[in-house]
Chains A and B, each alone.
Chain A
């Protein structure tokens, strides 16, 4: 069976308040991705987005001017879903459902109140949490993280090294929201609490922006504007008895969807974690990075904190350069679609923190959500 590839990526700028509607920025990013690929809107016959997306496939088509659509789908999971957008698009291309599939995520956080402040209960478990004050995603993640960090023996300094490292990467990326904003480990240790044990710098940015990608066959991509970025492997995961996001009612709450996705990803990709040159790991909250490092086999259990603190995630000298554009903590949080774009740039050789000769690029979405992961490669 043939392979699929990412032929184009497109992004708006990232900002706290972008000043344009979510629909406008969705259209801008999709059009930019098509132009990047050297394709026409009329070539598009497939669309995949998140179920959270406010600009659906019909509205997108009527603005950008797609052709007839033969494949369309929406995926759950928010931060867990970006890799799956590409993976499902690739599955559609490989199985012949469509030839040219657009995937995208557009967020305009300034267009309304925070969802929790507006009264949104995010999932079925919320009525058993929210009356007690667990109303924000960060509170559920903080409660889980305290136990995870406790059991794994992770110190605050080790956890803080994740945010500090990604900030270093953002300083090379003029598009990053935190570009030029210094963050030392001292700053981290003195950061104000959001939900203990998580402080401000453990939380991803509130971002407006949109990111899109175009997926087609690897064969066709080879004739387009950029060298193809081949989707070598794709996996999704929901762990047994999982309930978003705290997962407090599963037999072992520390086992997360990332552990399920990891079990299949490497076999499908035909490579292992030791073959990865560069990684983009969803960092909605920094403990998710350590959990993903364990799940996908980059670190053994209990070693992820020490690995991060020893510089393992750094572009300069790290064993696994991670979130090289700054990630959700320091570039932007477009539910991880910006991590997909950075994973593509690393294979193209165009990152602002380019890993020299990168051939295998790993992208994972939120470890603690209905999750997904990709292995992208130059062939």
Chain B
């Protein structure tokens, strides 16, 4: 398992919410695995996690592992004023990454170990996991 460097203390506005719908993602991420919610009935992937499949209305889901690689759909570079915990980290880039093989599934994550000014839309990236708490795993992205 790879860990991001540094575990910034997150302000209230930035806390992950560990609920019934999203907990399996975090559980897998703490083990360095990238998983996506899938309808257990019709087999369609969906993101972000939610209780009902909008196609077949099943309430059952499983969480297959997917390849932890993708491409940058877009990104932004936040500047202050920011909550202090993020202001300390600038400059940093946050990306929406389309997963390889499942371009309709896109995940947010920080772009790490790359100067923000050099990032491009379409850049190939791989997942890097951060485990800021026992039940919490976050996915970041780095060039591959």
Contact = CB atoms under 8 A, between A and B. Distances in A.
A57 to B, nearest CB: 30
B84 to A, nearest CB: 10
Given A116-B83, A143-B96, A248-B108, A136 B48 contact: no
B14 interface: yes
A249 B121 contact: no
A192 B80 CA distance: 10
B100 interface: no
A195 B81 CA distance: 10
Interface in A305-325: none
Contacts of A133: 14, 78, 82, 86, 89, 92, 94, 110
B106 A136 contact: no
B110 to A, nearest CB: 5
Contacts of B1: none
Interface stretch (A93-101, A117-125, A265-273): A117-125
Contacts of B104: 251
A194 interface: yes
A185 interface: no
B78 A146 contact: no
A62 interface: no
Contact of A127 (B22, B75, B116, B121): B22
Contact of B83 (A129, A135, A142, A241): A135
A139 interface: yes
A143 B83 contact: no
B125 interface: no
Contacts of A128: 22, 48, 107-108
B63 to A, nearest CB: 15
B142 interface: no
A195 B78 CA distance: 4
B11 A147 contact: no
Contacts of A172: none
Contacts of B108: 128-129, 132, 134, 248
A197 interface: yes
A236 B94 CA distance: 31
A248 B94 contact: no
Contact of A132 (B74, B94, B116): B94
A372 interface: no
Given A117-B83, A136-B82, A251-B104, A143 B94 contact: yes
Contacts of B92: 133
Contacts of A196: 76-77, 79, 116
Contacts of A117: 13, 81, 83
B107 to A, nearest CB: 8
A117 B73 CA distance: 27
B76 A139 contact: yes
A198 B75 CA distance: 12
A127 B20 CA distance: 13
Given A125-B48, A246-B96, A192 B15 contact: no
B57 to A, nearest CB: 16
A144 interface: yes
Given A125-B48, A127-B15, A251-B104, A192 B75 contact: no
A131 interface: yes
Interface centre among B75, B89, B92 (most CB of A within 10 A): B75
A139 B94 contact: yes
A198 B74 CA distance: 14
Contact of A195 (B10, B77, B83, B107): B77
8 A-B pairs with least C-beta separation: A119-B12, A147-B74, A127-B17, A142-B76, A196-B77, A143-B76, A130-B14, A193-B79
13 contacts: A119-B12, A120-B13, A129-B94, A130-B14, A135-B13, A139-B76, A142-B76, A142-B78, A143-B96, A146-B74, A195-B77, A197-B76, A241-B54
Given A134-B78, A195-B79, 12 more contacts: A119-B12, A121-B17, A128-B22, A132-B110, A133-B94, A135-B14, A135-B82, A143-B94, A194-B78, A196-B76, A197-B76, A249-B47
Interface of B: 10-17, 22, 47-48, 54, 73-79, 81-83, 86, 89, 92, 94-96, 104, 106-110, 116, 121, 138, 140
